[in-house]
A and B are shown apart, each in its own frame.
Chain A
Amino acid sequence: QSVLTQPPSVSGAPGQRVTISCTGSSSNIGAGYDVNWYQKLPGKAPKVIIFGNINRPSGVPDRFSGSQSGTSASLAITGLQAEDEAEYYCQSHDSRLRAYVFGDGTKVTVL
């Protein structure tokens, strides 16, 4: 059980909008540590899609957006596409654990 809590799964039809929450605490997100998001396809390495809470690396579609407030963060995917079906992980730093931490991951299914 990670210190960053994500829903195990979310789903949506093509074209719809889905959001994934990442709930932390005062020792990680609430302490001001950035939240980053990674997309992991089966058998592939994770790929950063959001860094610094809201920033997209070059090449990541603007369908992906991040937000952060208080002790939580969210990843939104608008205009859901079949290729977005993957596992998504949030990541931050935890001052109590003195480690970089990941959420347990959220499986996105495109119906």
Chain B
Amino acid sequence: QVQLQESGPGLVKPSQTLSLTCTVSGGSVSSGGYYWSWIRQRPGTGLEWMGYISHNGGTTYNPSLKSRLSISLDTSENQLSLKLGSVTVADTAVYYCVRTVSVFGVAGYYFDYWGQGTLVPVSS
């Protein structure tokens, strides 16, 4: 059973960089066939896909966040990381790390294993 666990600071100040780490157990981030996504949910709103990274380190970002977002892998620790720069209060959200998989090819990626999520408030 794949398990994902997010960790990071309890609070980030506006204009700073939000950094989160996701530790994966029960599976390897180096395994082919999967992507590893970050998804967030801001208060009172729906879910927003932020971006993902492949097992070999290739990244794809949501264009709405691309200029501020970086996702990376640490295969030695079986972790993925997120860095979101120049944050504002609008970046206050629950952040999830999520395994991304497709059974039916490029048209069919979905999110099968989710971390429990971590709330990151952005406040001065």
Shortest distance in angstroms between A73's beta carbon and chain B's nearest beta carbon? 13
Quick one: which of A62-89 are within 8 Å of B by CB?
A: 89
B48 on the A face (CB < 8 A): yes
Asked whether, in the complex, the Cβ of B116 is within 8 Å of the Cβ of A93, the reply is: no
Contact residues, B32-56 vs A (CB, 8 A): 37, 45-49
Size of B's binding interface in residues, CB under 8 A: 22
**B-side binding surface: helix, strand, loop or mixed?**
loop
Instruction: Name A53's closest neighbour in chain B (CB-CB).
Output: B108
A108 and B84 alpha carbons, distance in the complex (Å): 33
Q: Please tell me if the beta carbons of B110 and A51 are within 8 angstroms of each other in the complex.
A: yes
Least CB distance, B60 to chain A, in whole angstroms: 8
Residues on B with beta carbons closer than 8 Å to the beta carbon of A101: 49
Total interface residues in chain A, CB < 8 Å: 27
Closest to A33 in B: B107
CB distance from B7 to the nearest CB of A (A): 15
A46 within 8 A of B: yes
Number of A-B contacts (CB under 8 A): 65
B63-108 residues with Cβ-Cβ distance < 8 A to A are: 63-64, 96, 103-104, 107-108
For B63, what are the chain A residues with a Cβ–Cβ distance below 8 Å?
97-99
Q: Is the CB–CB distance between A102 and B46 below 8 Å?
A: yes
* In the complex with contacts A45-B114, A46-B114, A99-B62, A93-B107 CB distance below 8 A: yes
Instruction: Report A-chain residues with C-beta under 8 Å of the C-beta of B111.
Output: 36, 38, 46, 48, 91
In the complex, residue of chain A having the shortest beta-carbon distance to the beta carbon of B46: A104
- Could you tell me which A residues sit within 8 Å of B by CB distance? 2, 32-34, 36, 38, 44-48, 51-52, 55, 57, 89, 91, 93, 97-105
Chain B residues at the A interface, C-beta cutoff of 8 Å: 37, 45-49, 62-64, 96, 103-104, 107-112, 114-117
For the complex of A and B, list the 7 residue pairs with the smallest distance between their C-beta atoms, beginning with the closest: A45-B114, A34-B108, A100-B49, A36-B110, A102-B47, A104-B46, A99-B62
